[in-house]
Structure 1
């Protein structure tokens, strides 16, 4: 594939909750984990009042979207039942909707029932780490709800993914995965699709760097691409530090992702991500 792939017509907007989100300028999605065991301690907000305080901080720093998850997908995380996931996430979404009615809320789940309960509670988007593989009802649920869908690449499950690395051509394999699922979604009349290459999910550090280095080629799909690199193992293991020390490394890779045409940065640290967006926009001679 050559540079001509960047000339494909790109979808620059999605409709989320009646609001048109324009990706002409990259957007920042703030992470809100309603879990006791997410890999980065600074993102854990299991209580509703804590979640509201963190949401206020993320929004004030410039987040366009909040991604709310109640099931930790880090390697070795504890299994959570559907009932518990719903019990954790729905009250938080309801509270966020009341306090921040203009905020765009994304629900981070691979379960169709949790996605539906969350959208019914006031969320606007579905972020599925499994690309529909872990729940056969997910795609038809997205179609019925008529909401944007973040389609991520992963192999296996959160419990097995670390043993499922190894690719002959990682870009080609991820692209094939996306192409098949995009076709299925469009056949169901789901058109607001965002792609997520799934950094860290069934990929080792070398594979993550190879994929990031080719990320702009996903423009052949004509859809916005999300980069989720924030404080991940690829950063802190490579640098010999901890996730708590990985903000600088995150900013470096977020900047690379922006230069590779990322439309969304999914991050724990919104202020620093917004600064990266502004500087890259200036570098390109574009308005912020």
Structure 2
């Protein structure tokens, strides 16, 4: 029983990190109505940059590495949206073209990471060592930290989207782009900001999960696939739906790993997705249309 509870807690902690990745993917889809296939590659890129800043070369303390990492990731996201995606907007079938561009970007980033860092996966040490006891169950202190940090990030994002004027502007663009333009909202600015924030979120997830999983050049595809399943299950464009789906699937994953092994995780996730969509095609919290904040 104790081992089962340890596995469940580990699943919840990973689910919290998955929710950050999924929310970032959902934000971009909710505002721009396009799927960013480079999201997983940016997760890996964030993990590699974290490695460079901490144990790889610079040896920065974690708090300082995070302060450096956030503006780097945000700038990467803004540059991608401004230089690669914005010129496509307004063209014929631009959303499909944008998805193909991000798919190509994913391959470029994967190969760049391979050239720069090599094919051998790099370990990232846990920034918090030891264990803690929660209700008599011994769990990794680092997984507790991951859970707390991820929950804080999700809570701050919810506050931003629902309690600030800029967050309301993001929601307005997600609901009606033309209507947002008519009331004076700079839609291009919202698109750039949202993409930058999305890259920050997935990169921070890369930092949080890299001590749990090794960092490898093609290691972002599984997080991307999981984020995609979470976003669809939660309801396309709904950040609250993505959060709910992440924790639901995280618990499913923990039980599957405990009973059947890790190799059954994705098959069970996909079967769960199909069953839920058969009952509720719009997802857990979807409303039939994309909303940036659910």
Common fold: TM-score over 0.5: no
Q: Normalising by structure 2, what TM-score? A: 0.28
Asked which structure has the greater CA Rg, the reply is 2
Greater relative contact order: 1 or 2 (C-alpha under 8 angstroms, separation 6 or more)? 2
TM-score, with normalisation over the residues of structure 1? 0.28
Which structure has greater strand proportion? 1
Greater share of helix residues, 1 or 2? 2
